[in-house]
Amino acid sequence: NTPTETRRFEAEVAQVLHLVTHSLYSHKEIFLRELVSNASDACDKLRFESITRPELLAGQPELRIDVNWDKEARTLTIADTGIGMSRDEVIANIGSIASSGTRRFLEALGNEQKADARLIGQFGVGFYSAFVVADRVTVLTRRADAPASEGVRWESDGRGEYTLESVELPDRGTTVILHLKDDEDSFLEGWTLRGLIRKYSDHVAFPIRMPAAKASGDEGDEGEAGAADWETVNDASALWTRPKSEVKDEDYIAFYRSLGHDFNDPAAWTHNRVEGNQSFTTLLYLPSQAPFDLLMGGRDERKGLKLYIKRVFIMDAAEELLPNYLRFVRGVIDADDLPLNVSREILQQNRQLERIRGACVKRVLDLIEKLSRDEPEKFEAFYKAFGNTLKEGIVEDPANRERIAKLLRFASTRGDSDAQDVSLDDYIARMAGDQDTIWTITADGYRAAAGSPQLEAFRARGIEVLLMFDRIDEWMLGHLREYAGKPVRNVAKGELPLDEAGKTKQEEAARAAAPLVERLKSLLGDRVADVRVSSRLTDSPSCLALSDHELAPHLARLLREAGQ
């Protein structure tokens, strides 16, 4: 054995450790979920590697996670038969913040030195949550392709330093031993642990085992339990492979939580099996609230949509499986006919995947539509969180433009608040017989839109106008030229068509004002393209108008600010 080496954590790790241990107080128990989820990831990785290197499973074909504890020693142990880690990997994975997730976590927190439990899972600082309940953590690990002599023992009290030692380990995989803090006795109770596993990890796809006697609360003859007396305490089946009729809502919800690192319930889900010359299963969820990374614009690292092939986890493949504007979707896709050794590069140009992708988009749009119809309150909350993301689809996905447009909601001159609750279909249903255009106005805020003089003539004639004041709206409208066969137009561009009486009045007014117009033209010169008598206004004497091809004033302002 080599002598023990002592190393310091990277400065950022020490910071994360401090934050995690001080902010998870009300959610201490999630440390177990985090450690089990790491064990499960390690089993996934080994299963995947063993496809091309079956010898990795030699001697121990089983992939599983064992949870055990010792009341006297006050230790809790989570052991897996997964991929394990080499010495370098231990240093890289749990001694530094190699994971960009952790780095982003720190950035996200900024100066606000308060982490919230929701964030911790999302940013993958999971391992460190062990120090919330333990004052010392020991990790024993051996990589599946390394000999017994290349085991590694890592230990730390979570205060800045850790030790590393080479040890002999007969079994591959990783064992994490928590030396519990004085007041954490509840994590030494079988029924508590069992409850937590069922609550957070029931849908982990590998068996999670506990010693049978201890798990059922009969802890009389500890130690005498033979190796055979282990009991699987989780469901351990891949939920999406079960027939819909056998899966309860609460199972779907629990599975969602295990997937997305989201503490909230999903807004809706859709579970489907497609049979045919290409078979696949999809289980897709809509979240009810925006996750943190979406707010941060974390588009580079989209997570939460997992690709399985015949029940083997292949990779997080959100980018390959769904377009960007549906990046909030979480779930699982299990394909029967893709090659198991598929790579990201192959995925990006795989024909079969194109079909799956198309089917997923359709399923998700169906699901959102159904939510809008059947559960307006949930839809409203969903739309608040993701409406603007969805609008990107108008530009990104021309083939589904009409379907996406149907899901959008806007404020309108019919209402008196900025509530965005009018659909294009609502608008059309209220249109008067002689109106054929969907009128909109864009501005950089609700007040600016609702108070615009451009609306006077529309108000006077009782024509509803949709008020658009989200940053993305102008860009989106540029691509939404019509809906349901009706042109969509901006009131600032072009003129409102007049009725007969209006036309006569307009002509009279134009004749009467002709000398004024001439005088204004010569006064303003090059500063305007034209001066016209308009039917646009009823109260204000004048306003600026745009020709059909010009940028809306607030967009022009935005571009100017951006130095364009």
Among 29, 80, 262, 444, binds ligand ADP (CB under 6 A): 80
If binding is defined by CB under 6 A, does position 101 make contact with ligand ADP? yes
By the rule CB under 6 A, 43 interacts with ligand ADP: no
Residue 105 in marked binding region:
no
If one asks whether residue 102 binds Mg ion (CB under 5 A), the answer comes out as no
Q: How far is the CB of 126 from ligand ADP (least distance, A)?
A: 3
Binding partner selected for residue 125 from Mg ion, ligand ADP, none, CB under the kind-specific 5 to 8 Å limit: ligand ADP
The reply on whether position 126 binds ligand ADP by CB under 6 A is: yes
Size of the site for ligand ADP (CB under 6 A): 19
Choices 35-43, 348-356, 401-409, 438-446; region in contact with ligand ADP by CB under 6 A: 35-43
Q: Give the list of residues 6+ apart from residue 123 with CB closer than 8 angstroms, or none.
A: 101, 102, 104, 105, 108, 292
Rg (CA), the chain: 31
Candidates 39-47, 51-59, 252-260, 535-543: pick the segment binding ligand ADP (CB under 6 A): 39-47
Beta carbons of 333 and 308 less than 8 angstroms apart: yes
Q: Which of 125, 164, 335, 371 binds ligand ADP (CB under 6 A)?
A: 125
When asked if residue 94 is in the footprint of ligand ADP (CB under 6 A), the reply is: yes
Rounded Cα–Cα distance for residues 175 and 172 (Å): 10
Picking from 221, 343, 227, 239, the residue whose alpha carbon sits closest to that of residue 283 is 239
C-alpha dist (Å) from residue 292 to 343, 383, 545: 28, 16, 40
The one of ligand ADP, Mg ion, none whose footprint includes residue 82, by CB under 5 to 8 A per kind, is ligand ADP
Using rule CB under 6 A, residue 453 touches ligand ADP: no
CB of 156 to ligand ADP, least distance (A): 13
Does 187 carry a binding-site annotation? no
Query: Rounded CA gap, 12 and 99, in Å?
Result: 11
3-state secondary structure of 285: strand
When the beta carbons of 109 and 176 are compared against Mg ion, the nearer one is 176
Residues pairing with 156 in the sheet:
137, 162
The answer to whether 76 and 219 have CB atoms below 8 angstroms apart is: no
Quick one: which segment of 20-28, 124-132, 156-164, 424-432 binds ligand ADP (CB under 6 A)?
124-132
528 marked ligand binding residue:
no
Q: Is 42 in the site for ligand ADP (CB under 6 A)?
A: yes
Taking the C-alpha atoms of residue 396 and residue 44, their distance in angstroms, rounded to an integer, is: 34
Q: Where are the alpha helices (DSSP H) in 351-477?
A: 351-374, 376-396, 401-407, 424-430, 446-450, 456-460, 473-477
* Bridge partner list, 410: 422
Q: What angle do CA 56, 59, 61 make, to 5 degrees?
A: 70
Listed residue (354, 311, 351) closest to 333, CA to CA: 311
118 is in an annotated binding site: no
When binding is defined by CB under 6 A, the residue of 39, 97, 233, 390 that contacts ligand ADP is 39
Residue number closest to ligand ADP, CB atom: 124
Q: Which of ligand ADP, Mg ion, none sits in contact with 437, Cβ below 5 to 8 A by type?
A: none
Region near ligand ADP per CB under 6 A, out of 123-131, 148-156, 251-259, 412-420: 123-131
Q: Compute the distance between CA of residue 51 and CA of residue 328 in angstroms, rounded to an integer.
A: 31
Q: Which of these, 499, 101, 122, lies nearest to 330 by C-alpha position?
A: 122
Q: Is 280 in the site for ligand ADP (CB under 6 A)?
A: no
User: Which one, 94 or 438, has the nearer CB to ligand ADP?
Assistant: 94
50 touching ligand ADP, by CB under 6 A? no
Q: Quick one: 88 or 507, whose CB is closer to ligand ADP? A: 88
- Within 13 Å of residue 163, how many CA atoms lie on the same side as its CB? 13
Question: CA-to-CA distance for 434 and 105, rounded, in angstroms?
Answer: 56
Site for ligand ADP in 53-72 (CB under 6 A): none
List all residues 6 or more positions away from 367 whose beta carbon is below 8 Å from its beta carbon.
268, 269, 270, 284, 286
Which one of ligand ADP, Mg ion, none is in contact with 174 (Cβ closer than 5 to 8 A by kind)? Answer: ligand ADP
* Shortest distance (Å) from residue 136 CB to ligand ADP: 17
- Indicate the residue among 127 and 269 with the shorter CB distance to ligand ADP: 127
Report which of 257, 271, 252 is spatially closest to residue 304, judged by C-alpha positions.
257
Query: Is 296 marked as binding a ligand?
Result: no
**Residue 297 CB, nearest approach to ligand ADP (Å):** 20
490 binds Mg ion (CB under 5 A): no
Give backbone dihedrals phi and psi of 545, rounded to 5 degrees, phi first: -125, 160
- The answer to whether the CB of 519 falls within 8 A of the CB of 440 is no
| 258 lies in the site for ligand ADP, by CB under 6 A | no
Query: Which of 46, 85, 305, 394 touches ligand ADP by CB under 6 A?
Result: 85
Residue 535 touches which of Mg ion, ligand ADP, none (CB < 5 to 8 A by kind)? Answer: none
Q: Is 126 in the site for Mg ion (CB under 5 A)?
A: yes
* 385 contacts: CB under 8 Å, gap ≥ 6: 287, 288, 289, 290, 328
Which one of ligand ADP, Mg ion, none interacts with residue 86, CB within 5 to 8 A by kind?
none
Under the phi-then-psi rule, with left for phi > 0, alpha for psi from -120 to 50, and beta for the rest, what region is 563? left
Size of site (CB under 5 A) for Mg ion: 2
**Within 13 Å, how many C-alpha atoms sit on residue 535's CB side?**
18
**Known binding site: residues?**
34, 38, 80, 85, 93, 100-101, 122-127, 174, 344
**Residues making contact with Mg ion (CB under 5 A):** 38, 126
**Residues making contact with ligand ADP (CB under 6 A):** 34, 38-39, 41-42, 80, 82-85, 93-94, 99, 101, 124-127, 174
